[in-house]
Amino acid sequence: MRVVITGAAGFIGSRFAELLLADAERLGYDDVVLLDALTYSGRRENMNRAIGAGARFVHGSINDPVVVDQALAGAHAVVHLAAESHVDRSITGARDFFLTNVLGTQQLLESARRAGVERFVHVSTDEVYGSIAQGSWREDHVLEPNSPYSASKAGSDLAALAYHRTYGLAVMVTRCSNNYGPRQFPEKVIPLFVTNLMDGESVPLYGDGLNVRDWLHVDDHCRGILAVLEAGRAGEVYNIGGGTELTNRELTTRLLELCGADESRVRTVPDRLGHDRRYSVDWGKIHAELGYEPRVPFTTGLAETVAWYQANEAWWRPLKETVA
C-alpha cells in the first residue's frame, strides 16, 4: 500500500516518516512517498534516513494539481503535514499562509477524493482554539484563532472535515500542542534560544514572559499521528498533548541552565501582536480510544534536544541566516 506524507522534509514530517518506516511492515505500507516543496524550512537532508530506508521523494508543491494527482494516484493513505507554521512570519506576510494552508489543503483533499484515498490524516495545531485562561480544550470546543497562522490552520481543518461530511472522504484531524526536538528549524523558540546562547548572544523574551504553552516531544506527537492513521475514526478530531505546561519565562530559565548561561542573557522585547496567553489541550479522547500517552519526560527530552543542537552545529549554522 502507498502512503503519501506531505511536508516530509520538515521537522515533524521527516521524523514521522522515520517512525512510520520503522513500523511499515506491520502497518502494510510498502510504498512510502515523501512530498515536499523544499521551501526555506524544508531540508532535503532531513529525509536522508527515510530515503535510505526505502521511501521515495517527490519534489513539488501541494498547490500543484499535477504533482499532487500523480503522487496520490493509487495511494491508500495521506498524512498531511505540509504547512506554513511560524506565527511571526504570518503576521508580516499572511498571504503565503492562506495559499499553502487553506488552498494547498483543499487541493490535497480534492486529489485524495478523486484518487479514492481510504485514510487522510490532517495534522493541525492547538492554536486554532485561541487562548484559554484555565482548564483545557476538548475537541468540540469552538475555534477562535487569533493569528493569521492559526486562522489559516482553522480554515484547513474545516475544509478537511467538510470533505468528510460532503464526500465521505475518511478524514481525521489531529491538533497538537507545541512540539520540540532535534531538527526543528531555528526560528522556533527552543532552537532559536539554544543557538543564540551557543553564539554568545542574548535571547528575546516576549512581553512579561508569562504566556503558557504545553510542550510535546516530536516523537510523542508522531506516535499519536501513527495511532490515528492506524485506527482513528473518520470524521473525528484528536488532540495530542504533551502534559508539560510552562510559562515562556520558565522555559527560558531551563534553557539558560542547560546552556550554562544566566539571566543577563535575556532581553525583553515587545510582545507579539495578538499573542495568545495560554494553550492547553485535553487529550483524554486519543488516550481512551487509541491508547496514546506521551512517553518522553520533558526534562529528559529538553536536555537531549539541547545536546543535539550543541553536537550538530553544521546542520543549523547555515539556517540561521534565514531567521528574521
Whether residue 149 lies in the annotated active site: yes
Which of 294, 68, 58, 27 minimizes the C-alpha distance to 176?
A: 294
- Calpha distance 224→206 (Å, rounded): 30
Burial (CB < 10 A; 0-12, 13-18, 19+), residue 235, is middle
Q: What would the grid cell of residue 113 be?
A: 477524493
**Among residues 29, 129, 149, 292, which one is catalytic?**
149
Burial (CB < 10 A; 0-12, 13-18, 19+), residue 38, is middle
**Among residues 36, 84, 110, 127, which one is catalytic?**
127
**Alpha-carbon dihedral angle through residues 259, 300, 269, 276, given to the nearest 10 degrees:** 180
**Among residues 36, 110, 126, 139, which one is catalytic?**
126
Number of residues that this document lists for the chain: 324
**Which amino acid is it at 49?**
R
- Calpha distance 81→119 (Å, rounded): 14
Whether residue 127 lies in the annotated active site: yes
Whether residue 304 lies in the annotated active site: no
Query: Which residues are marked as active site?
Result: 126-127, 149
